[in-house]
Amino acid sequence: MKFDLSGQVAIVTGAGNGLGRSHALALAKYGAKVVVNDLGGARDGSGASSEAAREVVRDIEEQGGEAIAHGANVANFDEVNDMVNQTLDKWGRVDILINNAGILRDKTFAKMDLDDFRLVMDVHLMGTVNCTKAVWGTMCEQKYGRIVMTTSSSGMYGNFGQSNYGAAKMAVIGLMNTLVLEGESKGIRVNALAPSATTRMTEELIPAEVSALLSPESVTAGALTLCHKDAPNRYILCAGAGSYASTRLFETEGIFLAEEEQTPEMVIERMNEINDIKQQSELQTGGQQTEKFLTNAIEHLEIQG
């Protein structure tokens, strides 16, 4: 299959460096017109400069592509809306959004200032909400859109000293799960990328001797897969150092307890059955869990009756 994004318009947040830069360059390579968004702040979110974004635009133009830079702070909806409006004024549509912008304020939860917690949530979670909200109406009208959330193993599995970052990165999965349901009939597909790469945000965490293996380019190959017209939907793609895997949430079939059995003692006693994975399933909506529980209860009442 020939991978081609010709005629499509993409917005990449946090695209001045690292993964975002790699994503933007690759999108342009495959024919997309690219909005290179970057506030230009430091790794912790302080400061601002648009030079990094402009440099990526120059690189794209030198390769024969089309791009514009925008310095919107993703945590500010008005600035994000201005970015999307400028994109529509120039190119008339938005087909792809990669929510990549992020910062780190790592500390143990005991030592973490709540302002640092809020700031990380604002950039990662509300930044993703703001950008997605700003393009959502356009994508609904044009009956097409591809949105990529950037999640993390820190959110899905936990990572010492990253309670703020992990909370935000798991939250975007919850956002994805609902937007998939609301966007499906509009031709919008929403997926998540869980990257492992050496960037400004990870350079102090990864030993130098192995950092070269964790190139942004290997992650970008996965990111572009989620931008394609034949992209999956509600998919968590993990990528790094040439490896690709998927993460999913499953729920066990569990047990049913009659009213007189609904005690903590009984739940503890039957925990092995509750944890039995033989009939686990991947639920597509929160309502399916309620439906399962109610079905069990109704069947019990019918038997009793």
Q: Which string of DSSP letters, residue by residue, matches 27-75?
A: HHHTT-EEEEE-----TTS----SHHHHHHHHHHHHTT--EEEE---TT
Residue 37 resides in a domain: yes
**pLDDT for the residue 213:** 85
The CATH number of the domain where 75 resides is what? Answer: 3.40.50.720
Domain range for residue 285?
A: 259-304
The CA distance from 182 to 239, in Å, is: 27
Based on the domain organization, do 26 and 161 belong to the same domain?
A: yes
Based on the domain organization, do 70 and 187 belong to the same domain?
A: yes
Residue 111 resides in a domain: yes
Based on the domain organization, do 145 and 118 belong to the same domain?
A: yes
| DSSP H helices in 148-285 | 153-156, 163-183, 208-211, 216-225, 264-269, 271-274
Residue 205 resides in a domain: yes
Contact 246, 235 (CB under 8 A): yes
- Among residues 247, 275, 291, the one where a domain terminates is 247
Based on the domain organization, do 189 and 241 belong to the same domain?
A: yes
Based on the domain organization, do 235 and 128 belong to the same domain?
A: yes
**pLDDT for the residue 73:** 97
Tokens 């909506």, residue located = 285
Amino acid at 16: G
**pLDDT for the residue 202:** 54
Based on the domain organization, do 127 and 218 belong to the same domain?
A: yes
**pLDDT for the residue 1:** 77
Contact 191, 232 (CB under 8 A): yes
The residue-averaged pLDDT of 224-244 equals 97
Residue 3 resides in a domain: no
Provide the mean pLDDT of the chain.
94
Catalytic residues: 165
| 96-139 residue pLDDT tens | 999 999 999 999 999 999 999 999 999 999 999 999 999 999 99
* Stronger pLDDT, 209 or 64, i.e. the higher one: 64
Based on the domain organization, do 215 and 115 belong to the same domain?
A: yes
Determine the 3-state secondary structure of 151 from DSSP.
Answer: coil
Residue 89 resides in a domain: yes
Is residue 268 predicted with pLDDT exceeding 80? yes
The residue-averaged pLDDT of 183-199 equals 93
Based on the domain organization, do 275 and 142 belong to the same domain?
A: no
DSSP 84-135: HHHHHHHHS---EEE--------B-TTT--HHHHHHHHIIIIIHHHHHHHHH
Residue 253 resides in a domain: no
Residue 90 resides in a domain: yes
Based on the domain organization, do 234 and 292 belong to the same domain?
A: no
**pLDDT for the residue 50:** 78
Torsion angle defined by CA atoms of residues 224, 170, 239 and 39, in that order, rounded to the nearest 10 degrees: 60
**pLDDT for the residue 47:** 47
Based on the domain organization, do 144 and 217 belong to the same domain?
A: yes
Residue 266 resides in a domain: yes
Q: What Å distances lie between residue 121 and 94, 124, 130, 183, CA to CA?
A: 25, 5, 12, 24
Based on the domain organization, do 146 and 291 belong to the same domain?
A: no
* Stronger pLDDT, 212 or 243, i.e. the higher one: 243
Based on the domain organization, do 77 and 139 belong to the same domain?
A: yes
Number of domains in the chain: 2
